[in-house]
Amino acid sequence: MENFSFERICALLRYDWTLHKRKFLMTSLIVMLAYIVLAFVCFLVSAELGVDTVNASLPNKMVQMWSLYFATASSVMFIVVTTLLTEKFCYSRSATAYLSLPGTSLEKYCVMAVEYFIGLVSVQFIGLVMFLMTMGLGFLCVPELDWNVNYFANVWPYIGMDLDKLFGEQLGEQLATIKHSTPIYLALVQQLKNLVWISSMMEPVDWIASIALHGVICMFFKSNVQIKAILLELLLLVAFVIVLIVLICGWAGYAKMNNLGADYFFGSLDNLIAAIKYYVYLTPVLAAAFCYIFYRQLRCKQAK
Amino acid sequence: MIKTNNLTYAYVKGHTVLDRISLDMPSGHVYGLLGRNGIGKSTLLKLLSGALLGEGKYLVGDRDPRRREVDFQQSVRLVPENEALYDIDIRDYAKITRPLYPTFSDEMLKMALAEFQVPQDVKLTEMSLGQQKKALVSLSLACNTPYIFMDEPTNGMDIPSKSIFRKLVAGMIDENRTIVISTHQVDDLVGLMDYVTIMENNGILLSDSLEAIGQKYGTEDIKQVFCRLVSNRNLNH
């Protein structure tokens, strides 16, 4: 690889992170809060549509909501956070100075990926804090309600599945003991796991596809048409959110018409979210492919 | 040596900012890039530093800026007119900039900051506009690159600071260095620049040494020459 220097990546990362960390973390926080609003809206819409929520206790409903939230949060974060990142790299006033700093496109792209990863960690951390607050409130308000461990296990299929692999046998056993005694700890472990591994690491396709899209877009639009990159990414985001809301509302309506309970609704929603996620995988990959073709054409033109 | 041949650039298709510009800028000089606001001076500097990609042929040294090679980027330092400001002091800014430029000179930074009397422990965002400019110019001079492009560097500086700026830049110039300074305030560069490029209507109106301009127009007063050329051109159009 021509002129690829790890030292330079570190220097660029240090440079950019030092200058932009506050803006970056604030962006993550704002995005997170925006997503919480979206999650509440979805939750209220489903309640408004008459989905049977009587059989679901309040804490469980909260868990359901957070489940919905965490299941889709990472995908939405990928799009939103990186859209804002692209704005930072391609369109902000600092972009001119950044582009003329010593470093290849690939190196600058690697810096972006690392910052992106840091952003996800911060998002997960904020999520952990908010989750604990919600659970704490649930305990304080309705301590007598059902905190069934299995419910957590059903809602979050990751829980308990790979603790041994993840933390080693001994610790896995300890965590399993905790799992059967205190679901709060279990949920905490899940969030810590997210914090350590990041959902993107468990779903590498999501991460790679999204990074590839933004890397290619950054490289392709490094000349004078950055606005198109922003529009393209915003379009992807809007399309994703519309599809998400339509599908959730549609599914909720279907559940109501067929007199299906909340468990059915939320249980099926997991599958629905999984399907939406494939949409999220596919879109960046296709977009990245098109962008790459255009990028090659642009480079060829300039070579002439 | 900077050489452009039919350099053309448009931010939006159909609205050309620079139209087939051809320039020769030998090394070892300070160039004043003059022209009215919005005429394309900043764009030209961004093109030469590789931040924007133009059409036509242009070389800075023996490198094509469009390739954005690391060697090239390490040989060029651009001081944008509106550089984003950060919540750090100039010492920390230098600390993160130093590893990117092998030619970085701590002595130069120290000297420039001392000359400008810029406090090293005050955050850039807490400085006045003039202080910010002086700090950022000092940092850019400290990068010590063969090519330094400055866009309106004296904006916001007081008169003594402008004088110090001229002294520092003049002290840096040698046969291997090229400094291009864009400004619409001609007075700020008097006594500093030895070559002048005047831009007008997407192109170059004049590009020559002060000596040649003096012979041709009977005066080395660039302001006078500039006004005369611009009014002649407007009359012709």
Q: Compute CA distances B58 → A176, A222, B47, B63, whole Å.
A: 66, 18, 9, 8
Taking the C-alpha atoms of residue A266 and residue A287, their distance in angstroms, rounded to an integer, is: 31
Neighbouring residues of A68: CB distance < 8 A, sequence distance ≥ 6: A39, A42, A43, A266, A269, A273
Chain A residues lying within 8 Å of B70, measured CB to CB: 3, 5, 8, 102-104
Across residues B82-102, what is the average pLDDT?
A: 89
Which has more pLDDT, B136 or A26? B136
- B121 pLDDT exceeds 50? yes
User: How many angstroms separate the CA of residue B13 from the nearest CA in chain A?
Assistant: 10
Residues B112 and B66: beta-carbon distance below 8 Å: no
Q: Does residue B100 lie within any of the structural domains?
A: no
Largest CA distance in chain A: 75
The pLDDT of residue A257: 63
Q: What is the pLDDT of residue B161?
A: 94
Report how far residue B153's alpha carbon sits from residue A281's, in angstroms, rounded to the nearest whole number.
Answer: 47
Confidence band for B86, pLDDT divided at 50, 70 and 90: confident
Of A35-49, A77-91, B147-161, B200-214, the range with the highest mean pLDDT is B147-161
Residues of B whose CB is below 8 A from A102: 70, 73-74, 100-101
Domain CATH number, residue B186: 3.40.50.300
- Inter-chain touch B84–A93, beta carbons under 8 Å: yes
Under the banding of pLDDT at 50, 70 and 90, the label for residue B72 is very high
Query: Residue B78 belongs to what H/E stretch?
Result: strand B76-79
Which domain, by its residues, includes B56?
A: 2-88+148-162+174-236
Q: B115 at the A interface (CB within 8 A)?
A: no
| Exposed / middle / buried, residue A262 (Cβ in 10 Å: 0-12, 13-18, 19+) | buried
pLDDT for position A26: 67
* Chain-chain contact of B53 with A224 (C-beta, under 8 angstroms): yes
Distance CA A192, CA A183 (A): 14
More confident residue, B31 or A130: B31
Eight-state DSSP code of residue A225: -
B77 contact residues in A (CB cutoff 8 A): 100
State how far the Cα of A18 lies from the Cα of A15, in Å rounded to an integer.
5
Specify burial of residue A21 (Cβ count, 10 A radius: 0-12, 13-18, 19+).
middle
Question: How far is A78 from A82, CA to CA, in rounded Å?
Answer: 6
Residue A157: CB atoms within 10 A of its CB come to: 11
Please report which helix (H) or strand (E) contains residue A173, including its range: helix A169-181
User: Measured between CB atoms, does B88 come within 8 Å of chain A?
Assistant: yes
Tokens standing for A73?
A: 């949060």
Pick among A96, A111, A295 to test the B interface (most B CBs inside 10 A): A96
**Chain B contacts of A13, Cβ < 8 Å?**
none
DSSP B81: T
Is residue B34 included in any domain, yes or no? yes
Does B40 contact chain A (CB < 8 Å)? no
- Residue B202, pLDDT > 90, answer no
B91 and chain A: CB distance < 8 Å anywhere? Answer: no
Average pLDDT over residues B145-169: 93
* Tens place of pLDDT per residue across chain A (304 aa): 456 788 888 898 888 888 877 766 666 666 566 655 655 555 555 444 444 433 444 444 444 555 455 545 555 555 555 555 544 544 444 556 666 788 877 677 677 667 666 665 565 566 556 555 555 555 555 444 344 333 333 333 333 333 344 344 444 454 444 444 444 444 444 444 444 443 333 344 444 445 555 555 555 554 433 445 545 555 655 665 566 666 666 666 665 666 655 444 444 455 555 545 544 444 444 445 444 444 444 443 333 3
Question: What pLDDT is recorded for position A36?
Answer: 57
| Between A129 and B40, the higher pLDDT residue | B40
d(CA B66, CA A96): 14
Q: How is residue A201 written in tokens? A: 């690491």
ipTM confidence score: 0.84
Domain boundaries of chain A, sorted by first residue: 6-56+67-132+203-303
pLDDT band at residue B67 using 50, 70 and 90 as cut-offs: confident
The residues, any chain, with a CB within 8 Å of residue A299's CB and separated by 6 or more, are none
CA distance B12 to B143: 33
> Cβ–Cβ contacts within 10 Å for residue A17, how many?
15
Mean pLDDT estimate for chain B: 89
Give me the residues paired with residue B197 across strands.
B33, B207
Cβ separation of A11 and B50 shorter than 8 Å?
A: no
Whether the per-residue pLDDT at B215 is higher than 90: the answer is no
Mutation target to probe the B interface, by most B beta carbons within 10 A, among A3, A94, A224, A299 is: A224
Return all residues near B184 (Cβ < 8 A) that are at least 6 apart: B34, B35, B36, B37, B41, B152
Asked whether the beta carbons of A144 and A46 are under 8 A apart, the reply is no
Alpha helices in B2-89 (DSSP H): 41-49, 70-74
pLDDT of residue A50: 42
Residues of chain B contacting A95 with CB distance shorter than 8 Å: 51
- Would you state the pLDDT for residue B103? 94
Residue listed under structure tokens 């001079």: B141
Q: How many A×B Cβ pairs under 8 Å?
A: 78
**Is pLDDT of B149 > 60?**
yes
Rg (CA), chain A: 21
3-state secondary structure of B63: strand
Beta-carbon separation of B70 and A100 below 8 A:
no
- Give the pair of three-digit tokens for residue A16: 């950019």
Interface touch B53/A97, C-beta < 8 Å: no
B113 confidence band (pLDDT: 50, 70, 90) = very high
Q: Decide which of A195 and B8 is more confident.
A: B8
For residues B202 and B140, the model is more confident at: B140
Residue B102 resides in a domain = no
Under 8 Å between Cβ of B31 and B206: no
Say what the pLDDT of residue A134 is.
Answer: 54
For B211, other C-beta atoms within 10 Å of its C-beta total 11
Among all residues of chain B, which has the CA nearest to that of A105? B68
Place of tokens 């790890």: A6
What band does B33 get if pLDDT is binned at 50, 70 and 90?
very high
CB contact under 8 A, B78 and A96: yes
Q: Is B62 in a helix, a strand, or coil? A: coil
User: Does the residue B185 lie in any domain?
Assistant: yes
Q: Are A155 and A64 in contact (CB under 8 A)?
A: yes
Q: How far apart are CA A129 and CA A127, in angstroms?
A: 5
CB < 8 Å to A7, chain B = 99
Measured CA to CA, the distance from residue A298 to residue A88 in angstroms comes to: 23
Contact B68 A104 (CB under 8 A): yes
Q: Do A102 and B99 touch (CB under 8 A)?
A: no
pLDDT of residue A113: 64
Flag if B68 and A105 touch (Cβ within 8 Å): yes
Our measurement of the distance from residue A107's CA atom to the centroid of its chain's CA atoms, rounded to an integer in Å, reads: 24
- The answer to whether B166 and B191 are in contact (CB under 8 A) is yes
Confidence check: pLDDT of B100 > 70 = yes
Which residues of chain B lie closer than 8 angstroms to A15, CB-CB? 96-97, 100
User: In terms of pLDDT, which residue wins out, A256 or B31?
Assistant: B31
Percent of chain B with pLDDT over 90: 55
The total domain count for chain B is 1
pLDDT at res. B147: 96
| A157 compared with B83, residue with greater pLDDT | B83
Nearest to A223 among B52, B73, B83 (CB): B52
B99 touches chain A (CB under 8 A): yes
**What is the predicted pLDDT for the residue at A202?**
36
pLDDT given for residue A238 in this prediction: 61
